[in-house]
Chains A and B, each alone.
Chain A
């Protein structure tokens, strides 16, 4: 991923592709997860620019921090309550909350059940959207005109795929399809990698990546091998957490793969 904040490539996208009527006067907030904010600001920038190009007026509330997932997955969801309540305070006034993370979206929808279910909490759990889900199912955009003449491997993040059902699961069907691949397939010049294992977990898993370091690393190495074996040049996905882990392995192995978040590709950034 690019780490030069503020430097982005202008693309030949019209300023406004499509703006559904019902979205006018809708207040849309951008939620940038904590680790994206700190380590992958360019993914935040790409998400913001992409949404703007798609005609969405986006507000970024400056006091946002985190959804609270790291502690909760670590067995400390009670400690996370303060973070949940802070999140609700920050985002309660918005009609949509859009975030470039299936994992955080899933956490808010699924696990904000331990705080009092005030109207604000209930509203937030319904209005939080993963970026691609928002683009396809709220904005109703099916195609984004971007050139991306590269061999792209898609890593399906489990929380988006199985948690939010954004993509088919191989346990249920042999048909490989999903929201991200639908958009990717329509990019000009793109070739998608056919993986041996289409939806095996990368092994990040939050705290798992350090508490179960050996298995976590091995899972990541095996995913990268699958991509290398099948020709991936650019590795993408919907969750920066998985990509951070996989990029860590790519860099350690000096593997010839560039890692980019899906928002960066759809925003017209090039590897």
Chain B
């Protein structure tokens, strides 16, 4: 499939007016829940500042904290692995699975709780190709896994789907009644289905929300308890984390647990906040620490603070563009505003339209619990896209022409006069021709006045 850019995918999304309304309102509801959870906390803005500063400090000492974390984790009896990129990450995970479960006559079975990192590395595809059965156990993740779709949101992976869509998917994969759309019945079906998978699993994989250098332990936050069920039943626990998940000390953790769930879903705290320190006797615990482009981003002064992200998804819920274009329109593991500043680091050419998929309204920066200046970084990525000659030729030359006109007052005055004159003379059907003037698809142009302000001023005041 040839690559489509954001405007094309967003336009396709908007073809269904009612569904766009529903998507927008659903996510706005989550944003409002967040507001209700945030406003009553008088120190919330101070918490954001603190969280931002702790992350700034950690990122500027990341090498030391990573080593401290590794040493402490090893002391705890955890096996620590380092992966430079997605390929290494996937290989490491596969080898852990193959080495730890010598099963005969069937594939090794892996249950996974939510991990955006493994999505980023396309781990599921890789493992399945290598004869390992993979089951995502987060409800939303399981739904999109059945449908062979990527998640459309980092916290709410199936938020693009209505209950009717889920009913259809479960009818196909879980044998629920055709047309069943009752959320309780559908959830119960998924619950029974997943119980079997948990019990039968050889290995459980989780993400990591926070890794604590001081203790070598890590924290996994879920609402469904699926991470805990998985790792407590399976013999082997693999936790995959990006290098930016580190925080220095245990007492820093509370700053983030207070911010994460409030920003994500408006809950005071996630239902489960599980600390993992050492393997149970007779079991194995592995941590895979992954770079995959993060050190490159760390080296970009203007963009390094994007690594402060704690993956709450608040910038998606607040973004008026995300709400009206859907997560899949970004065509990147992490969609929305934060994805639009992470993705150009990975592949500028492929994701060049994403920094422009924003009005630079700044809502993302104001909602961000770790105060990433997302809209400022969007603006800066735009300049890099421009300098890399990745803008459409017509736009590039139009911009150059406009810049010339606007630096020469007489040329500007004359161009304005001619343009207004033309707009006044030409028929409406021509000036509002949709194929030539995208503005006119849904909007009227302003009336072109006879006089500019400058002409009025000249006539009346000079």
Contact = CB atoms under 8 A, between A and B. Distances in A.
Interface of A: 3, 5-6, 32, 34, 36-45, 48, 60, 62-66, 68, 70-80, 82-83, 85-86, 111, 158-159, 162-163, 169-174, 197, 199-201, 203-222, 244-245, 247-249, 251-252
Interface in B402-458: 402-404, 406-409, 412, 416, 419-420, 438-439, 441-458
B452 A41 contact: yes
B367 interface: yes
Contacts of A221: 442
Interface residues of B, number: 75
> DSSP class of B's interface residues: helix, strand, loop or mixed?
helix
Nearest to A222: B24
A80 B386 CA distance: 12
A172 B45 contact: yes
B376 to A, nearest CB: 8
A219 B320 contact: yes
B361 A214 contact: no
B357 interface: yes
A37 B11 contact: no
B383 A212 contact: no
B10 interface: yes
Interface string B367-394: 1000000000001001101110001000
B399 A74 contact: yes
Contact of A213 (B24, B416, B441, B460): B441
Contacts of B251: none
A212 B45 CA distance: 33
Contacts of A32: 453-454
Contacts of B444: 247-248, 251-252
B362 interface: yes
A37 B14 contact: no
Given A174-B39, A212-B6, A221-B442, A74 B386 contact: yes
A64 B409 contact: yes
A252 B338 CA distance: 34
A212 B454 contact: no
Contacts of A68: 403, 406
B14 A45 contact: no
11 contacts: A34-B412, A38-B416, A39-B420, A62-B409, A74-B395, A75-B355, A171-B366, A172-B45, A206-B360, A221-B442, A222-B324
Contact of A214 (B10, B385, B402, B450): B10
A158 B363 contact: yes
B359 interface: yes
Given A65-B407, A163-B362, A208-B359, A197 B28 contact: yes
Contact of B406 (A83, A203, A204, A218): A83
Contact of A45 (B321, B324, B400, B456): B456
Contact of A204 (B359, B382, B391, B409): B359
B58 interface: no
A37 B363 contact: no
B441 to A, nearest CB: 6
Residue from B361, B420, B438 with most neighbouring chain A CB atoms (10 Å): B361
Nearest to B442: A217
B426 to A, nearest CB: 15
Given A37-B416, A65-B406, A80-B403, A73 B360 contact: yes
B449 A3 contact: yes
Given A205-B359, A213-B439, 4 more contacts: A41-B455, A44-B456, A159-B362, A222-B324
Nearest to B458: A62
Contact of B443 (A6, A66, A82, A245): A245
A203 B323 CA distance: 12
B10 A215 contact: yes
B257 interface: no
B146 interface: no
B306 interface: no
A41 B456 contact: yes
A268 B223 CA distance: 56
A45 B453 contact: yes
A45 B451 CA distance: 12
Q: Which 9 residue pairs are nearest across A and B when measured between Cβ atoms?
A: A205-B359, A248-B443, A75-B386, A44-B453, A217-B442, A201-B361, A171-B366, A75-B382, A162-B362
